[in-house]
Amino acid sequence: MPPAELLAEAAAAGVDRVIAIGVGRASAERAVALADEHPGVFCAVGVHPHDADGYSRADDRWIRELGQHPKTVAVGECGLDYHRGSSSPAAQRRAFVAQLALARELALPVVIHSRDATAETLDTLAAEAEGHPVVLHCFSMPERAAEVAERGYWTSFAGQLTYRSAEDLQAAARGLPAERLLVETDSPYLAPVPRRGRPNRPVNVLHTLEFLAALRGVDARTMDEVTTGNAERAFGL
């Protein structure tokens, strides 16, 4: 489905603002172009850890340039992913630290991708992003939820929160501070129940929102107000 149709579908269901995430130069440029074309679209720009090999000063330059676009609201997604081994750990660490520095320079929050690298991700953030706004994208470190809450990081839940096997994640979602909760789709991945197994779409964030509301014992409208307000504060929307 073309982006305009996906956005129209989402808007019809009440999702009127979207952040398109860049995971490399080409996708970041597309995200910025979408933001230019559609009033309700904003963007984040960065290099995904899968693409960290070869990260250089040239990447610093384009992230800095796109980061100054008026509709760029974050640097990322960036971080560490040791699950697939698409890039060397050393390259991932270099790219991660470089982008944390750029986020500070640009005064933008940083959107973090972390998979099979929880301890090192949190250690790096403690060393390089103290006091800086951090969004833990597709939050997946429930065993460190208390620490994350103490540090004041934003915790963003995607469709995997709704999966039957996600009991630890669900327990964390019940207890994390309401003022730091966010919901997302990670489109086209991680479609929530009852759309699991299909390509994800922005409108499906409503399923995750409703599931999170039920976990915390509040109605969906209240959770919508909470997470929308949080997103406005986190990203300056």
Give average pLDDT by consecutive 10-residue segment, the chain, 237 residues: 86 92 94 95 97 95 98 97 90 97 98 97 97 97 97 97 96 97 94 91 96 97 97 96
The closest of 113, 63, 124 to 86, measured between CA atoms, is 113
pLDDT for res 218 = 97
pLDDT for res 101 = 98
Which residue do the tokens 């904003």 mark?
42
In this structure, which amino acid lies at residue 135? V
> For residues 110 and 97, is the Cβ–Cβ distance under 8 A?
no
Per-residue pLDDT tens digits for 166-188: 999 999 999 999 999 999 999 99
Separation of alpha carbons 56 and 9, rounded Å = 39
Hey, what domains does the chain have and what are their CATH numbers?
1-106 (3.20.20.140), 138-237 (3.20.20.140)
DSSP track, 181-204: EEE---TTS-PPTTSTTS---GGG
Per-residue pLDDT tens digits for 2-21: 888 988 888 898 999 999 99
Q: Which runs of E-coded beta strand occur in 40-186? A: 41-45, 72-81, 110-115, 134-136, 154-157, 181-183
pLDDT for res 66 = 98
Predicted model pTM: 0.95
The closest of 189, 214, 212 to 202, measured between CA atoms, is 189
Edge to edge, the sheet with strand 134-136 lists: 18-21, 41-45, 72-81, 110-115, 134-136, 154-157, 181-183
pLDDT for res 203 = 94
